[in-house]
Amino acid sequence: MVSGILVVIGSSKLPLKYEKKAKSKHYLYGMNNRGQVRAKKHLGQHFLKDESIAERIANVVPFEGVDKVLEIGPGMGVMTKYLLKNPAIETWVVEIDEESVSYLKAHYNTLSARILEEDFLRWNPAKTFGDEKFALVGNFPYNISSQIVFKVLEHMDQIPLFGGMFQKEVAQRLCSPPGNKTYGILSVLCQAYYDLTYDFTVPPGVFNPPPKVDSGVMHMVRKTEDPDIDFKLLKRGVKAAFGMRRKTLRNALKVLNLPQGFDHPYLSKRAEQLSHTEFVELLTAIEDGRNEH
């Protein structure tokens, strides 16, 4: 995953207080000769090595209205250290990689009780935070970043603040306006419930190993008012529309079993031409038409 790297200067021998931990195979397995966790391809790990960028990402989300933040995939804590410096929030992390967990426990003693050793995509927020709201941040693994965003949307009432680093193309897609080829399902759904900002681009050279593409940092802040539509209905309609994005919506939305005789000006357009408010308008009209029959 795109995660943090904490440079260990000097000898590969660990300080005395960490020697006991170092004897554990869980701590040493996967370490390189400088005492750092090796990046694992199957987890999509690319460790961020630029401290200034790590600090910028840690501060990209405006921590207002929450007193807890959860970081996904902290790796060796390059961003975590800056989150921990913020006295206004309590930092939690979720990490699936055993070696990274061992590293964090060894180097961030005060964080140990707030390390969730599990897969974020399987994690239940209520188990940790009850119904309390929290911010969610991270340097997100490219291979599961869209799944992470869908999970945020499923728990949007509990996650008013979300942000971090994605593959640049994904970050731009989330923030893309209508009429753009990058505009898609997540663009509509996120923009219906959040205000989005693309913050800055990160080049491959600041990672170890470097990815093949640029990364992009963005953040989202929950809107004060929700659209007047059931989220499941909106999600189903938007997915159907973009499932046949080259077709007009009249054809793409046939899977929704349009009411007999139903017509609407937007049906002559393609999915990428409608804003989130126009999708809400169209899908609400379809539902109203269905209820009339």
Instruction: Give CATH superfamily name and number for 231-292.
Output: rRNA adenine dimethylase, C-terminal domain (1.10.8.100)
Alpha-carbon distance of 221 to 56, in angstroms, equals 17
DSSP type of residue 212: S
Write out pLDDT tens, residues 210-248.
778 899 999 999 999 999 999 999 999 999 999 998 999
Half-sphere CA count of 112, side-chain side, radius 13 A: 8
β-partners of residue 200 are 217
Q: Where are the domains of the chain?
A: 2-222, 231-292
Alpha helices in 10-162 (DSSP H): 16-22, 25-28, 51-58, 80-84, 98-107, 125-129, 145-154
Amino acid 293: pLDDT: 59
Nearest-5° Cα angle at 79, 156 to 117: 65
The secondary structure of the chain in percent helix, strand, coil, rounded to multiples of 5, reads 45, 20, 40
Sheet holding 46-48, edge to edge: 2-4, 46-48, 207-208
Closest among 248, 271, 116, 67 to 182, alpha carbons compared: 271
Amino acid 46: pLDDT: 58
Amino acid letter for position 115: I
The phi-psi region of residue 94 (left if phi > 0; otherwise alpha if psi is between -120 and 50; otherwise beta) is: beta
Q: Is the pTM of the predicted complex or chain greater than 0.75?
A: yes
Write out pLDDT tens, residues 147-191.
999 999 999 999 999 999 999 999 999 999 999 999 999 999 999
Amino acid 35: pLDDT: 55
Amino acid 76: pLDDT: 87
Amino acid 14: pLDDT: 41
Amino acid 201: pLDDT: 97
Same fold, 2-222 and 231-292: no
Q: 2-222: which CATH architecture?
A: 3-Layer(aba) Sandwich (3.40)
DSSP type of residue 37: B
- Taking only the tens of pLDDT, the chain with its 293 residues reads 444 333 333 333 344 444 444 434 444 444 443 457 554 455 444 558 889 999 999 999 999 999 999 999 998 899 999 999 999 999 999 998 888 899 999 999 999 999 999 999 999 999 999 999 999 999 998 889 999 999 999 999 999 999 999 999 999 999 999 999 999 999 999 999 999 999 999 999 888 677 788 999 999 999 999 999 999 999 999 999 999 989 999 999 999 989 988 999 999 999 999 999 999 999 999 998 887 75
Amino acid 26: pLDDT: 41
Alpha-carbon distance of 25 to 269, in angstroms, equals 59
